[in-house]
Structure 1
Amino acid sequence: MIKHKPPLISIVMPAYNAEKTIEESIQSVLSQTCDCWELIIINDASTDCTADLVCRYKKMDSRIVVLTNPINSGVSYSRKRGVDSASGNWIAFLDSDDLWTADKLEKQMELLKNDEADLFFTGSSFIKADGTPYSWIMQIPNRITYRQLLKQNIISNSSVLVRKELLQKHMVEGDHMHEDFACWLGCLRDGAVVQGINQPLLIYRVSATSKSGNKIKAAKMNWNTYRSVGLSAFESAYYMIWYCIRGIKKYRNLK
């Protein structure tokens, strides 16, 4: 087993019945040109071969940590458990079906050295469930405000690198809403500086079974997110209009 220096970045990867995609996701972490990380995989009581696969990788690399939930507890609980056990001062998230380009962490680390931002995120390219790429690339701004984010959550969870202390202050649990969206809103409202890298360093897998793939469920979760951060029904309805408009544009790009 290869041993490495203590991590600066803790990568949190929840996994539930992810045997078809998780190896590719893990390999995209192992291929990073920046090596000051640990990968915390939370097996959420999977019933397929996920446990065997992640344990095999754990034996290969000492930077990989595997936690197992005794019962299926949901993605928000699993993410929080991973963050609470993290050794690094910075947290990155990667879902068990998404991928990173090899220079994702390195480019964020370069900015980290010269920027006072508290949270970094990147642009995204997209692939179908079978790995076939879409032509569309999601562009992002260098900076974003609280009000701008309310109109569209352009901070893809699997692209984020965030200070652990800030994350733990605003992290919430709840699979009835987009808990990551609620967290980013809380960070911005608290005065955090958020820096975007307008490059597709995240490769996002579009799946019909995911939360974002189910359009009606995703809309309900978006409404619940607005209400959870204190928006009135009127304000929530206003921003839901923006959500629908932006969602239609995104759907057309991913047809």
Structure 2
Amino acid sequence: MKVSIVTPVYNAERFIHETAKSVMGQTYKDWEWILVDDCSSDSSWEILKELASNDPRIRVYKNNENLRSGKTRNFAIGAATGRFIAFLDSDDVWHENKLSIQIPFMVENGYFFSHTSYGYLNESGEKIKSTLHVSPIVDYIHLLKRTEISCLTAIYDAEMIGKFYMSEHARKQDYALWLSILKSGVKSYGLDIELAYYRQVSNSATSKKSQLILKHVSFLRDTQGFGTVKAWYYTLYWMVNGFIRYYLR
């Protein structure tokens, strides 16, 4: 049962080798890795070509123009030939047993969508913070209140539910994708094992908290069709759970 791993790449030369090591070291061997370079200005494209030359399961593409992560992931989803679609960003890392644990978890239980707990790395690859533990079952309303499905842990069964694509919205395209799947009636089943590691990279362009809140309201209005009151209702839940998630763990 082939797994298609989707990775957008943009100026990833610092971390892509470590990410590649975690994919190529998977104990589950039936995978293809689709990497799409989004007009990087560093050596990312050369690194991708080298990776592909050393493993026929790796397929690499290059955008003609900078499309950003959502559209870049959508191209990779469209090119995917596997039964399962998995996501991994170019600076994150998987545990070597991620696929060999998560795929049987889905198949044996008849689950079409799943996610796992995950840890955190700093820019040097050292573990920081504590594990983010996930809930056993997540439905549409749950995810509106607590955004616990992370891109580096999510896998869906495209053979059973069809291919779902990223939103065209300017931000949170992955979150919009999870909401689309859940809104269709499919639930995501959480596997409370730390099987992936999210890298926190310093970003001088991070928005102020007040701007993030307003953008979240706008996101819910634009992608979910919520009115202002309903958008603020779920944004307040998102704010409280986000505070607990990041500061009280």
What TM-score, normalized by structure 2, do the two folds share? 0.92
Query: Does residue 160 of structure 2 align to residue 178 of structure 1?
Result: no
Q: How does 1:123-162 map to 2 (within 5 A)?
A: 123-162=117-156
| Equivalent residue pairs, number | 246
1:164 aligned residue: 158
1:43 aligned residue: 37
1:168/1:65 CA distance change after superposition, 3 Å: same
TM-superposition CA deviations, 1:159-198 (whole Å, max 9, x none) = 0111225463454223x23111111112112111311100
2:224 aligned residue: 229
Distance (Å, rounded) in 1 between the aligned partners of 2:46 and 2:237: 43
**Which of 176, 179, 191 is the equivalent residue of 2:185?**
191
2:4 aligned residue: 10
Q: How does 1:27-176 map to 2 (within 5 A)?
A: 27-164=21-158, 166=161, 168-169=163-164, 171-174=166-169, 176=170
Identity %: 28
1:208 CA drift (Å): 3.0
**Aligned amino acid, residue 103 of structure 2:** M
8 Å contact 1:55–1:66 — kept in the other structure?
yes
- My pick for the range that moved more, 19-28 or 104-113, is 104-113
1:253 CA drift (Å): 5.4
Structure 1 residue runs of 5 or longer lacking an equivalent are 1-6
1:4 aligned residue: none
> What secondary structure sits across from 2:217 in the alignment?
helix
Distance (Å, rounded) in 2 between the aligned partners of 1:46 and 1:109: 32
1:149/1:109 CA distance change after superposition, 3 Å: same
2:236 aligned residue: 241
**Aligned amino acid, residue 143 of structure 1:** I
Distance (Å, rounded) in 1 between the aligned partners of 2:218 and 2:72: 20
1:62/1:97 CA distance change after superposition, 3 Å: same
1:246 CA drift (Å): 1.9
TM-superposition CA deviations, 1:69-117 (whole Å, max 9, x none) = 0111100010000000011121000000100000000111111221121
Structure 1 outlier segments of 4+, above 6 Å: none
> What secondary structure sits across from 1:157 in the alignment?
coil
- My pick for the range that moved more, 195-204 or 243-252, is 243-252
8 Å contact 1:208–1:214 — kept in the other structure?
no
